Structure 1
Amino acid sequence: MQALVAPTYNRLADVLTDAPWDAPSLCAKWAVRHVVAHVTMPARLTPDLFAAEMAAARGDFGVLSDTVAARDAELPADVLLAQLRSPELHAWQPPGGGAAGALSHAVIHSLDITVALDRPAVAPPEAVTAVLDLITEARGTWFGIDLTGVHLEATDLNWQWSDAEPVGPPVRTDGGSLVAVLSGRTLPDGRGLPRVGRLHST
């Protein structure tokens, strides 16, 4: 899974060279530049700096994320693009999350940008499929999504998932958009899935 992180970030950097950085992303209150600043944190923050940021946020990772995203979104675009392509970011794994967590982080946040901008997904198809499997194997609990009675079909991938007793029409869209809605996001056309809990910070 870790090997799929680098191409995801590299292709995202390619897309962002001519993208509107101030456009809204799928992350509430965050523009594209805030998402980029968020995902590139591991390329800037050493363990000691991260610990200092966490202490300043009084142990609240959500506060840390918002603070760092707001501040570092003002970095020059070429700096952030270089960090998207950096080996440090490509090798990073979230504490306790391993390679699966690293790939999920890369794929989901890349989609926060590309879906919002109506651009094709940048993650390799096998990366999108892997994240779809990870989220549905956890039955949506990562993001507080209610998958009761839900049937999902990716229109561009050989992938589908169904609850034991699906009810209603299937949720059919491209794989990237399915990852987005399974991650608690609302698509630009208003589609989403019911949430039963607080959105997880990824």
Structure 2
Amino acid sequence: MTDLQSWVAPTCNGLADLLATTAVDAWDAPSLCEKWLVRHVIAHVTMPARLTPEQFGAEMAAAGGDFTVLSDTVAARDASLPVADLLDHLRFPRLHAWQPPGGGAAGALSHAVIHSLDVTIALDRPAVLDQLTAAGGTLFGVDLTGVQLEAADTD
């Protein structure tokens, strides 16, 4: 079986590379996450790179145990960090090794991919999909060489 955790770093690094070459005003564009700009999504995704488990616990207590409140609070606060810092946080090894409580490696990869899409689709640059399929014609260990996707027949 493919080690799903090993896909987190390339997904985050690919998003960082894409955003590093994107105009600065794109960070203030709406994302696919309701009420969040691109910078809020990146602040959210990179939260595990900045918060120790103790800090996360304190944030959770301050949010009354409500993860949505915590997430919105941290995203709003940390979205004001310099773009260079947020890009560095996307590349941080602690983020690449992080796993959500109860989610394991699959949860970590899902978090990275889904939020990458929240940003790249909103910016009309869904390069994360290209990145995921660029590894020698494989996706999660499945050889996709020669496979073509076709639109579903809706008739």
Which TM-score bucket, shorter chain as reference? 0.7 to 0.9
Higher helix proportion (structure 1 or 2): 2
- Deviating 4+ runs (over 2 angstroms): 157-160
Residues 76-109 of structure 1, C-alpha deviations (whole Å, 9 max, x = no match): 1111100100100000000110000000000000
Residues 28-75 of structure 1, C-alpha deviations (whole Å, 9 max, x = no match): 100000000000000000000000000000000000000000000000
Amino acid at match of 2:125: R
**Mapped partners of 1:118, 1:18: distance in 2:** 14
Corresponding residue number in structure 2 for 1:61: 67
**Mapped partners of 1:111, 1:102: distance in 2:** 14
8 Å contact kept, 1:38–1:68: yes
TM-score w.r.t. structure 1 length? Answer: 0.63
Q: CA 1:42/1:159 → structure 2, altered by over 3 Å: closer, same or farther?
A: farther
Unmatched tracts of structure 1, length 5 or more: 131-156, 163-167, 171-202
8 Å contact kept, 1:110–1:121: no
Amino acid at match of 1:55: A
Give the alignment of 1:1-150 within 5 angstroms.
1-19=4-22, 20-122=26-128, 123-125=131-133
Amino acid at match of 1:40: T
Size of the aligned set, in residue pairs, is 138
Alpha-carbon shift at residue 110 of structure 1 (Å):
0.2
Question: Which of 158, 162, 169 is matched with 2:154 structurally?
Answer: 169
Alpha-carbon shift at residue 159 of structure 1 (Å):
6.4
| Larger relative contact order (CA 8 Å, sep ≥ 6) | 2
**Mapped partners of 1:126, 1:38: distance in 2:** 26
